Amino acid sequence: MSHDVVSPVDETVIASVDEMGEAKVDDAIARAARAHGAWAAIAPGDRARLLARAAEAVDAAREELAHLEVRNAGHTISNARFEAGNVRDVLAYFAGSPERHFGRQIPVAGGIDVTFREPLGVVGIIVPWNFPMPIASWGFAPALAAGNCVVLKPAELTPLTAMRIAALCHEAGIPEDVFQVLTGPGSTVGWRFVTHETVRKICFTGSTAVGKRIMAGCADQVKRLTLELGGKSANIVFADADLERAAATAPTSVFDNAGQDCCARSRLLIERSAYDRFMELLEPAVSAFRVKDPSSEDAQMGPLISAEQRRTVEGFVPEDAPVAFRGRAPDPPGYWYPPTVLAPVQPGDRVAREEIFGPVLAVIPFEDEADAIRIANDTPYGLSGSIWTNDLGRAIRVSRAVESGTLSVNSHSSVRYWTPFGGFKQSGLGRELGPDALEGFSEVKNVFISTAP
């Protein structure tokens, strides 16, 4: 069986990929398990060198990978270049890990006590379609660095870059059975990772609904699990902030990648006293947002990923929705949807509560700091968010009070590979990236050695 891959830019079929069934998946997992002993036994410096070579191979193919993602996912060429560079950087960063994956020596009576960080074995990584390249690398690079073998399932809509990156890693010397990309539906390939006893950990990014099902499935084998799920992040703008900068950057914070970003600041909380001024500044920034052929060098936003995703987004903006203003988008073919600002929105409205995963911003006025914090936290999610203020004390107070894993002050940066990334509440479980990422891909083993004569 095979599956057609369609470009969201012009709705044409660009590739056909294998749709693996359970037998093929089981075969791949068995090969990974057989390869594990030798991979785990490689000297740390040699494993580091292989990851560094993989980083170089990705670097050399950056332009090719970027253009592939423009076609397959409709990402703008500038974003796609950044994403391919991110894979290189994540590989290079974790190439530093095998030689620094320290255990401890703990003082005890009667001998010495040391800890080792042992690899888990075979790790299953399940990747969504919104950022196919970076999200794959945030899983496979630290997993390989810690001495695991990886089976990785890309989303059915966007498998092409993951397949190419795996081939580049193999050319760089990482054995084929150590890192395998398996294509096919989530309910078959992804679910088999959950039920197969040899897969010791799942690293899942995607919807909260599927994440919950995977968590329940993992319970059966007490399988290790990292979840990166949905978000409904707040961009909180206080009246004392640099309103020009806050308004100029707000569109990118929610419309980047057509809003298909778990960190999208899809709720804009604005202090009521600055509401009118802020909306005056926001309108030209939204109408100037360049939605066009994503292969254009100056495109800021491309189409949505699929017709289904466009229907979902449209469902959030019915005829009587409070549309304050919208940007422009090209006509079909392509799954286009214009940047849309809804205002004012009440905190209890559906558009203020549910993840839309499209270019729709809900603007919510607030009265004071306490009100802002209350509204920001009034959601089951807690992934990201931004705080705009020139009051340092307030910036710190609000950063500590917002229940969210990744916050930025007077900026919208969120995922930096040097720092931990993950969610509070129903946005996820565990942390990826940063200095401690390998803890999620290894077990601590304690060994006591008697010195008794």
Report 152-171 residues binding ligand NAP (CB under 6 A). Answer: 153, 155-156
Site string for ligand NAP, 227-246 (x = CB under 6 A): -xxx----------------
Which of 362, 409, 402 shows the shortest CA–CA distance to 383?
A: 402
Q: Should residue 205 be labelled a site residue for ligand NAP when binding is judged by CB under 6 A?
A: yes
**Alpha helices of 326-440 — where are they, by DSSP H?**
350-353, 369-377, 392-401
Q: Where are the beta strands (DSSP E) in 259-301?
A: 267-271
Q: What does each C-alpha distance from 96 to 149, 174, 422, 438 come to in angstroms?
A: 18, 16, 22, 11
Containing H/E element for 126?
strand 122-126
In angstroms, the CA 46 to CA 54 distance is: 12
How many Cβ atoms from other residues are within 10 Å of residue 211's Cβ? 23
Question: Should residue 191 be labelled a site residue for ligand NAP when binding is judged by CB under 6 A?
Answer: yes
Q: Using the rule CB under 6 A, is 210 a contact of ligand NAP? A: yes
Please say whether the beta carbons of 152 and 159 come within 8 A.
no
Q: Is 218 a catalytic residue?
A: no
Structure tokens at 370: 């306490």
186 binds ligand NAP (CB under 6 A): yes
Residue in the structure block whose two tokens are 């304050």: 324
Instruction: Give 209's contacts (C-beta < 8 A, 6+ positions apart).
Output: none
Residues 399-418 that bind ligand NAP (CB under 6 A): none
74, 128, 359, 382: which one binds ligand NAP (CB under 6 A): 128
Based on CB atoms, which residue is closest to ligand NAP, 256 or 271? Answer: 256
- Map the footprint of ligand NAP across residues 251-290, applying CB under 6 A: 262
Per CB under 6 A, the list member of 21, 85, 175, 185 interacting with ligand NAP is 185
CB of 280 to ligand NAP, least distance (A): 31
Instruction: Report the alpha-carbon distance of residue 25 to residue 29 in Å, rounded.
Output: 6
Closest CA to 36 of 201, 117, 200, 148: 148
Catalytic residue, chosen from 228, 271, 355, 432, is: 228
DSSP annotation string for 230-295? ----EEEE-TTS-HHHHHHHHHHHHHGGGG--TT---EEEEEGGGHHHHHHHHHHHHHT--BS-TT
User: Residues 423, 231: contact at Cβ < 8 Å?
Assistant: yes
Only one of the segments 51-59, 161-169, 187-195, 276-284 lies at the binding site for ligand NAP (rule: CB under 6 A); that segment is 187-195
Q: Does 377 bind ligand NAP (CB under 6 A)?
A: no
Residue number with the shortest CB distance to ligand NAP?
186
The piece of 12-20, 49-57, 61-69, 209-217 that touches ligand NAP (CB under 6 A) is: 209-217
* Least gap, CB of 166 to ligand NAP (angstroms): 15
- Number of residues binding to ligand NAP, judged by CB under 6 A: 26
Q: Report the nearest approach of ligand NAP to the CB of residue 156 (Å).
A: 3
Task: Kindly state the tokens that stand for 245.
Answer: 């900068």
**Measured between alpha carbons, how far is 230 from 218 in angstroms, rounded to an integer?**
19
Q: Among residues 79 and 97, whose Cβ is nearest to ligand NAP? A: 79
The rounded distance, in Å, linking the Cα atoms of 374 and 384 is 16
The neighbour count for residue 292, using CB atoms within 10 Å, is: 17
Binding mask 316-355 for ligand NAP (x = CB under 6 A): ---------------------------------------x
> Which range binds ligand NAP by CB under 6 A, 24-32, 186-194, 360-368, 393-401?
186-194
| Window 129-148: residues binding ligand NAP (CB under 6 A) | 129-130
Element (H, E) at 219: helix 208-219
Query: Shortest distance, CB of residue 86 to ligand NAP, whole angstroms?
Result: 15
- Check if the beta carbon of residue 388 is closer than 8 Å to that of residue 235: yes
The reply to whether 355 belongs to the active site is no
Work out how close the CB of 405 gets to ligand NAP at its nearest, in angstroms, rounded to a whole number.
12
Tokens describing residue 75: 């990402």
- Residue nearer to ligand NAP on the CB measure, 312 or 377: 312
Give least dist CB 276 to ligand NAP, A: 32
123 is a site residue for ligand NAP (CB under 6 A)? no
Catalytic residue among 262, 271, 355, 432: 262
Distance CA 171, CA 354 (A): 43
Q: Residue 289: which of 333, 332, 331, 338 has the closest Cα?
A: 338
Among 2, 12, 105, 187, binds ligand NAP (CB under 6 A): 187
Binding flag, residue 126, ligand NAP (CB under 6 A) = yes
Binding window for ligand NAP (CB under 6 A); candidates: 72-80, 203-211, 247-255, 275-283: 203-211
C-alpha span between 31 and 18 (Å, rounded): 18
Q: Per rule CB under 6 A, is residue 89 in the interface with ligand NAP?
A: no
Q: Please tell me the distance from the alpha carbon of residue 240 to that of residue 410, in angstroms, as a whole number.
A: 12
What is each CA distance from 438 to 103, 139, 143, in whole angstroms? 12, 10, 7
Residues forming the active site: 228, 262
- Where does this chain bind ligand NAP (CB under 6 A)? 126-130, 153, 155-156, 185-187, 190-191, 205-207, 210, 213-214, 228-230, 262, 312, 355, 357
